[in-house]
Structure 1
């Protein structure tokens, strides 16, 4: 089935999932929407996030996607269930994938999670990890400044590291050998986070596991792309394009990023 796979996020964070999908699913075509005009989703009400997530999903369904990946932890927490229930195409999120990655990586089962306020409040990672290993010790921390840092494109240099270090300061008192990047924006600043928590900590994100899960579903459903020509990926943002396109160009292994503005309603 030669239709594209849809990927949605509150902004540029979902590009970290797209990067892994390009690696694991090189023949698949990807259509991406980043809701940069209304990012971040973390502080918003669940009702707002559900509304925005459905708007992005509907727009991509209009474009003819065959599967949807919610590459946003906050949106996965509140909107995945309703989308899976009412959509005619397969829909997956990133929470369970992140939990699985952490369980694979940890040796002590002392796990920390950094995420948006919305994701932390939902306890989604605690529940997902507990379903896999009930004796895990989990410490969660909301890091509100980190998504705006990534979205601004100003995540290089001393200021960015100081902000990351300050945001993660409460974890100094916690015991953990594995840290889940519970927001898809965070892998873009993974090096800064690693520096702040120390090299001895395993840092995991949901991106790789989500890409692998996408591939499994495509195979199981028999809807893999069979076209021989190279896929043409399309990227859309609801806000200003220059920063979005710059981050996408720097982050993704593509010669050219086809990006355009999109209006949601």
Structure 2
């Protein structure tokens, strides 16, 4: 089925974190319209059972499909770990996740073949990152570390100070002990804490450590995918728009979305899944 290049990109996540992906997409694809759905009524996904995550993901995806998007970007590592194949089977639509791009970037960056992953408990338990890194290079050892407290800290805007610093340090300790030289932020909420995570990692591991924010890698792959499918929106259509949808607390979402996106938003619409 040939899709309309003028149609919007659909992006979804459990809450605010996926806006880091939207921001990267906006930088890479300034002419694309983007419809973002944050399932704020059911955040976080990272502590849910895989079957529950798949059910939530299908609800989000179906809502965006009903709005005639031309492709879906899963801006959630937990969903990308357990649901993309189900979505691809169920939906007549291209579906792109966030795990493989980040894994490939980590594999390219490591010098000692030891990669650490900070992620939610669900993503770590899925084993998705070790599989994705191994697909890039079987020589690399991948060490996963659940970091569940980082999601609510990011959601609440606690991105500076001793509380997030001490939480980051606690989660980085096992990765430092394992001797990793690259750390993937395996949750789209975590880039909001990038400065603190990077500072603590360099203090514990050394200045050589590299922190991978997969949002930019995802945006590049989406751009290449759209170009390859002749689905890029023409520049003559002008700058793209961003439409924000949430399932709960749109005012609270608005208060922080502008900061995450780096630009003023038109406000979020509340929808029922």
| Deviation, structure 1 residue 223 | 1.4
Match of 2:253 in 1: 244
CA distance in 1, matches of 2:252, 2:110: 35
Please list, as runs of the form range in 1=range in 2, the aligned pairs for 1:4-19 lying within 5 A after superposition. Answer: 4-19=8-23
Query: 1:260 deviation in Å?
Result: 1.6
Which of 71, 74, 77 is equivalent to 1:73? 77
| Residue 229 of structure 2 is aligned to residue 221 of structure 1 | yes
Compute the displacement of 1:117 (Å).
Answer: 0.5
- Report the Cα offset of residue 133 of structure 1: 0.5
Cα distance change on mapping 1:108 and 1:170 into 2, 3 Å: closer
User: Which string of whole-angstrom CA distances, capped at 9 and with x for unpartnered residues, describes residues 68-117 of structure 1?
Assistant: 00010100111100111222121110110110110121111111011000
Task: Specify the alignment match of 2:158 in structure 1.
Answer: 154
Q: Structure 1 CA distance, aligned partners of 2:193 and 2:86?
A: 31
SS in 1 for 2:83: helix
Distance 1:146 1:126, change over 3 A: same
TM-score relative to the length of structure 2:
0.93
Q: Hey, what's the Cα distance between the residues in 2 that align with 1:60 and 1:69?
A: 11
Once the two structures are superposed, the pairs formed by residues 168-247 of structure 1 within 5 Å of their partners are 168-198=172-202, 199-226=207-234, 228-247=237-256
2:110 aligned to which of 90, 106, 112? 106
Q: Is the 8 A contact 2:13 2:38 kept in 1?
A: yes
**Would you say 1:262 and 2:266 are equivalent positions?**
no
1:96 is aligned to 2:105 = no
Matched, 1:42 2:35: no
Q: Distance in 1 between matches of 2:100 and 2:174?
A: 25
How far has the Cα of 1:159 moved from its partner? 2.0
* 1:55-70 paired onto structure 2 within 5 Å: 55-70=59-74
1:54 aligns with 2:62: no
SS at structure 2 position matched to 1:208: helix
Offset at residue 10 of structure 1 (A): 1.0
**Which stretch shows the higher mean deviation, 251-260 or 34-43?**
251-260
SS in 2 for 1:225: coil
CA distance in 1, matches of 2:210, 2:49: 32
Q: What is the CA deviation profile of residues 123-181 of structure 1, one whole-angstrom value per residue up to 9, with x for unaligned ones?
A: 10001111111010211100111111111122222222222222333333110110000
Runs of 5+ consecutive residues of structure 2 not aligned to the other structure: none
Say if 1:248 and 1:257, in contact at 8 Å, map to a contact too: no
Report the Cα distance in structure 2 between the residues aligned to 1:232 and 1:190, rounded to whole angstroms: 26
How far is the alpha carbon of 1:18 from its aligned partner?
0.7
- Which blocks of at least 5 consecutive residues in structure 1 are unaligned? none
